[in-house]
Amino acid sequence: MPDDGNSTPKTDSFAALRYKDFRSYIGMRFCFTFAYQMQTVVLGFYIYQLTHSKIALAFIGLSEAIPAVGIALYGGYIADKYEKRKMLLIIFSGVLLSSLVMFITTLTNVASQLHTTGILTILYAMIFCNGLARAFYGPATFTIYAQSIPKELYPNGSTWSSSSWQVASILGPLTGGFIYGFAHHFYPGLTGITATFALTLIFMLGSLVLVYLLREYPPIFIPKENIWVSLKEGLNFVFTNKIMFYAMSLDLFSVFFGGVVALLPVFALDILKVGAEGLGIMRMASSLGAALTMIVMIRFSPMNKPWRNLLIAVSGFGISIIGFGLSNIFYVSLMFLFLQGAFDSVSVIIRGTIMQLLTPDHMRGRVSAVNSMFIGSSNEIGDFESGMAAKLLGTVPAVIFGGTMTLLIVSVTWLKTKKLVPLSLAQIQEPTAPV
């Protein structure tokens, strides 16, 4: 395992950061997440301003989820089979091109007032392309993370990796919301959407440069069987490993029903009436809660009794969603979003560590692909569910319904996995761990 030549004890909170490639990895992840989150928050607001349609918001998530889920297993197969650095260079170049097209589209609309249908068609098409890229991005980065640090540092590395993601998720939406709302004050004639996309392109380019600085990551194995047999092997591993299966299922259904991100533009414009700036703050609040919690978890790990802590965290997530739906006061809503992010971060750390420790090296790409189908796209599919539920039930009832369903899912999972609750991480790793 390549490193910087330092022998690092496990108790060192900065242990994972002492590896050069890991630093490049989290830097790349930060820049990409910052740009992607900023782009996502302004796209939702921009499309809702154009259409005032909750269905239009639902189709943002669906446009990305269809390709991300549809070819996720193939993305995992390719990630296991090919060199990862080259894969990421291609992926990031494609996402950069997609953002450039959206930038030109919004710029052209400002100049000539394009028909709304034409704008939406282009934007949804580029979101679809981003979904294609995500099907390969997740498995490739999952493997790079696993090979950039020693196995005993996975819990520490998972905390740093998730923290960099969360910090970017704080700054990205906040920056995007404020640029969208205030750009014209700084430069007359400059629109918020155009200025935001320009900054997005800069950070996308930065992430591409950081990928270039990574060393090469050749495949650990070349599958001799055909693609269908290889993919079936990855699926069988996940579905026969009950601990991994229940962890993925819990996250999938809680995010599917409990996610409120897609409806935040509705809350910002119609319920709380705080505009684009308020939307950026709301998107920031959840990520701020997650980031601060992860900083605490660098010192105080939740892995002493991971399954118990996972169930508690997802329960807190569901309660926070219900509280947010019931609130009509901006600062109270921010508090519940903060708590939602805090609880979700605990879930991310625990599930990510379990995934890394239970997955064999030669199957990381395919197992990550299955994880992407369960988790990576649950946000987008959940966005579609949220938009449709809001259309059918109303915005506030849809959010309360989602939080209630999350609590129901936790209860069912607890009944199915009670034997795991008192176990330590080492006991969960044992092949004979009860379920």
Compute the distance between CA of residue 56 and CA of residue 121 in angstroms, rounded to an integer: 11
Spatial distance between the Cα atoms of 359 and 361, rounded to a whole number of angstroms: 6
Instruction: Say if 50 falls within a structural domain.
Output: yes
Domain with 86 in it:
16-429
Q: CA-CA distance, 76 to 225, in Å (whole number)?
A: 15
Closest to 433 (Cα-Cα) out of 245, 248, 297: 245
| Distance, CA of 315 to CA of 330 (rounded, Å) | 23
Q: Is the pTM of this model over 0.85?
A: no
d(CA 278, CA 199): 20
Q: What is the pLDDT of residue 5?
A: 42
CA-nearest of 308, 341, 303 to 413 is 308
Residue 422 lies in a domain: yes
CATH number of the domain enclosing 188: 1.20.1250.20
- Report the pLDDT value the prediction gives residue 376, as an integer from 0 to 100: 58
CA distance 74 to 65: 15
Tokens 């693609």 locate to: 227
Residue 173 located in a structural domain: yes
According to the model, what pLDDT value does residue 100 have? 93
d(CA 367, CA 25): 20
Q: What is the pLDDT of residue 266?
A: 87
One-letter amino acid identity for 93?
A: S
Q: Please count the CA atoms within 13 angstroms of the CA of 132 that sit on its side-chain side.
A: 12
DSSP state for residue 52 in the 8-state scheme:
-
Domain count, the chain: 1
Q: Is residue 313 part of a domain?
A: yes
Q: What is the pLDDT of residue 334?
A: 94
**Residue 192 class from Cβ within 10 Å (0-12 exposed, 13-18 middle, 19+ buried)?**
buried
- Whole-angstrom Cα distance, residue 242 to residue 228? 23
Distance CA 71, CA 381 (A): 15
| Residue 10 located in a structural domain | no
C-alpha to C-alpha distance for 176 and 173, rounded to whole angstroms: 5
pLDDT by residue, tens only, the chain of 435 residues: 444 444 444 567 788 888 888 999 999 999 999 998 889 888 888 888 888 888 888 888 788 888 877 787 777 778 777 888 899 999 999 999 999 999 888 877 654 556 778 888 899 999 999 988 888 887 788 778 888 888 788 778 877 887 788 788 778 887 887 888 776 666 655 577 888 888 999 999 999 999 998 888 887 666 666 666 766 777 777 777 778 788 888 877 777 777 777 788 888 888 998 887 788 788 778 878 887 887 788 777 787 888 888 999 999 999 999 999 999 899 999 999 999 989 988 887 888 777 777 777 667 666 766 666 666 556 667 777 788 888 888 889 989 998 999 999 999 989 988 888 887 777 676 665 666
In a domain, 3, yes or no: no
**Does residue 264 form part of some domain?**
yes
Domain assignment of residue 8, yes or no: no
CB 8 within 8 A of CB 15: yes
Q: How far is CA 81 from CA 72, 73, 235, in A?
A: 14, 12, 17
pLDDT of residue 7: 42
